[in-house]
Amino acid sequence: MRLDDIDPTRNARDRGFGGGGGGGGGIMNLLFFLPMIFGRKVGCLMIVVILGAMAVFGMFGGGGMNTGTTPATQVASGQNGGAAGTACSTGARLESCRVMALADTTWEQIFQQAGQRYSPATINFFTGNVQSGCGAASSAVGPFYCPADHGVYLDTAFFDELDQRFRASGDAARIYVVAHEMGHHIQNLLGTSGQVSRAQARASETEANRLSVALELQADCFAGVLFGRNRARLEGGDIEEGMTAANAIGDDTLQRQSQGGVRPETFTHGTSAQRMAALRKGLESGDPGVCTF
Ligand SMILES: [Zn+2]
């Protein structure tokens, strides 16, 4: 994907090397769903699903539903590392900073067209462990988004893992990863992720997992929208690279590799086929309205 002409985002922070991290609550990531505290069952999850769908259609279809959340304060430089300028300096970081800038521009246009106010996300680079607005987290969980501070968190070592362990190479595979986390940012702005996490707190584990799959597939679809809205930037092989990455990180594929079998009730992100279909849907239409929850 051609990104060279894009100024990297100014909303970038270098969080440096972390120590002693644990699992952060409430984060949304690319691979694994962090353990949540599940409470009693309720039977009204469909209401939340419908509300989530209304949030999207209300916004993108010109309806009057106000689903915005209060934007977090933007911080220009980190408490634990360099300012935005140095955070985006190296190859993989520079590329991700450009993707963030492209995503902010693209989504801002979409929000403006729908008469809604957009607020940008921040990208936080770290190595090992990091203290996010959602608690401490380790790079072992993969890249993630923290709704509380509107932050995408990325240890770029994950890109080596993507290449070597998941056999998903190429820039579009990496761009898909960042675009997926930005999909969670959009869900946060729409209020969808908040509704889902409240419903999950009351749901059975199986129901909570089902909600998680729907949320993750919508984030994949939103990632596709970023590609679809910037078709002129696509180069040969980009779509295949994105699809290869989506295929590699499907729950069924990951479980088959690590456990030798699949347990669909434990899926949190969707199957490889579902993830590829969601990415393709957003990509082909370029329309977030197709990314139903
Ligand atoms: Zn995710």
Give me ligand 1 centre to Cα 103, in Å. 16
CA atoms within 13 A on the CB side of 183: 32
Is residue 3 in some structural domain? no
pLDDT digits (tens, 9 = 90+) for 160-198: 999 999 999 999 999 999 999 999 999 999 999 999 999
CB-proximal residues (5 Å) to ion ligand 1? 28, 216, 219
- The mean pLDDT of 67-78, rounded to a whole number, is 37
pLDDT at 56: 44
Is residue 1 in some structural domain? no
pLDDT at 103: 98
Is residue 209 in some structural domain? yes
Is residue 225 in some structural domain? yes
Task: Return mean pLDDT, the chain.
Answer: 84
Is residue 2 in some structural domain? no
Q: Is the pLDDT of residue 87 over 60?
A: yes
pLDDT at 27: 81
pLDDT digits (tens, 9 = 90+) for 237-259: 999 999 999 999 999 999 999 99
Q: Is the pLDDT of residue 80 over 60?
A: no
Q: Is the pLDDT of residue 79 over 90?
A: no
Give me ligand 1 centre to Cα 122, in Å. 16
Give me ligand 1 centre to Cα 144, in Å. 7
pLDDT at 124: 97
Give me ligand 1 centre to Cα 39, in Å. 22
Is residue 5 in some structural domain? no
**Could you give the number of structural domains in the chain?**
1
Quote the pTM value. Answer: 0.83
Say which range, 13-17, 38-42, 102-106, has the weakest mean pLDDT: 38-42
pLDDT digits (tens, 9 = 90+) for 209-229: 999 999 999 999 999 999 999
Residues of the domain holding 171:
12-290
Give me ligand 1 centre to Cα 32, in Å. 8
Q: Residue 108: what residue type? A: E
Is residue 171 within 8 Å of 178, Cβ to Cβ?
no
Is residue 179 in some structural domain? yes
pLDDT at 60: 42
pLDDT digits (tens, 9 = 90+) for 115-169: 999 999 999 999 999 999 999 999 998 999 999 999 999 999 999 999 999 999 9
Is residue 208 in some structural domain? yes
Pairwise pLDDT comparison (28 vs 254), residue with the higher score: 254
- What confidence tier does 75 reach under pLDDT thresholds 50, 70, 90? very low
